[in-house]
Amino acid sequence: MPAPERPALERPAPSAVELDRRAFRRRQGGRSIAVSIGSTIVFAVLIGVGLVNSPGWADVQRSFFDLETAVEAFPSVIEGLWLNIQVLFFAAIGVAVLGSLLAIARTLRGPIFTPLRFAAAIYTDLFRGIPLLLVLYLVGFGLPGLDLFGRVPAQVWGTIALILTYSAYVSEVLRAGIEAVHPSQRLASRSLGLGYAKTLRLVVLPQAVRRVTPALMNDFVSMQKDVGLISVLGAVDAIRAAQIEVAASYNFTPYVLAGILFIALSWPMIRLTDWYTARAQRREQIGGSV
């Protein structure tokens, strides 16, 4: 029987040297915070002063930053944004499913899967090559032209186009992650009696996703913006709503408003993933200060 682990010992009072080091770190920490706050303020003031004193500032302010127009446009733009969120929601699910399937198809081994592997490779090459705008036009105006589907709202076609394009990108990111998981992990899992699918789902994919989370988040945030492109199909999303308001008020403020709302939409997601990756890293990896 191996000896039980040592019990936690009482930590002795720090020595004078350690106390001195701590005091030094505290002073330095305080100083660097002060420096960063100071420099940020100076920088912001400089930009602000520069803007406000430029000759055309009054005009720009009137046509881009008009509070009254913003308040007026707010309800319809936010209503449009709700459509963006819905499209984003379904597109994200679609991309996760289709992207994973494509990535798995590309990593399958064995001759039986050659056609599948090949088809997945062609798909990803194709859809990473075509501009999203073109896919939107082809899907949004082409597929309804077949007269097979009855009347389908524009945003549905937009969602499908987003899924088609983004799953190609996401599958490549996931594939890189899957291939980065060491083969000995599969070996260990199979040795326990887990089959191919369970090994993939429980051992390989979780590790793969963790490795590529930053890249996946990048794609997600990018898609979050591109959701605005569904307006070209006539769906009344935030961009389209802003456009309508602009046409009515001869003022560009609604565009700025839509922009701010899009930023507000993506910000929590960015922070959330940063937090999540940091936490996973803290828990699963050996600590260290470098």
Q: With binding defined as CB under 8 A, does residue 289 bind other proteins?
A: no
Each residue 134-173 as x (binds other proteins by CB under 8 A) or -, in order, gives: ----------------------------------------
Query: From the CB of 93, what's the least distance to other proteins, in Å?
Result: 23
Which of residues 140 and 177 has its CB atom nearest to other proteins in the complex? 177
Each residue 169-198 as x (binds other proteins by CB under 8 A) or -, in order, gives: ---------------xx-xxxxxxxxx--x
- The separation between CA 78 and the C-alpha centre of its own chain, rounded to angstroms, equals 21
Which of residues 138 and 194 has its CB atom nearest to other proteins in the complex? 194
Query: From the CB of 191, what's the least distance to other proteins, in Å?
Result: 4
- Residue entry with tokens 């590529």: 212
Q: With binding defined as CB under 8 A, does residue 283 bind other proteins?
A: yes
Stretch that binds other proteins, among 14-22, 58-66, 144-152, 281-289 (CB under 8 A): 281-289
Query: From the CB of 235, what's the least distance to other proteins, in Å?
Result: 40
Binding residue for other proteins (CB under 8 A) from 147, 284, 288, 289? 284
Which of residues 190 and 225 has its CB atom nearest to other proteins in the complex? 190
Query: What sign does the CA torsion over 79, 83, 84, 88 have?
Result: positive
Query: From the CB of 117, what's the least distance to other proteins, in Å?
Result: 23
Query: From the CB of 182, what's the least distance to other proteins, in Å?
Result: 8
Each residue 206-245 as x (binds other proteins by CB under 8 A) or -, in order, gives: xx--x-----------------------------------
Query: From the CB of 185, what's the least distance to other proteins, in Å?
Result: 7
In three-state form (DSSP H/G/I as H, E/B as E, the rest C), the secondary structure along the chain is CCCCCCCCCCCCCCCHHHHHHHHHHHHHHHHHHHHHHHHHHHHHHHHHHHHHCCCCHHHHHHHHCCHHHHHHHHHHHHHHHHHHHHHHHHHHHHHHHHHHHHHHHHHCCCHHHHHHHHHHHHHHHHHHHCCHHHHHHHHHHHHHHCCCCCCCCHHHHHHHHHHHHHHHHHHHHHHHHHHHCCHHHHHHHHHCCCCHHHHHHHHHHHHHHHHHHHHHHHHHHHHHHHHHHHHHHCCCCHHHHHHHHHHHHCCCHHHHHHHHHHHHHHHHHHHHHHHHHHHHHHHHCCCCCC
**Site for other proteins, rule CB under 8 A:** 1-5, 184-185, 187-195, 198, 202-203, 206-207, 210, 283-286
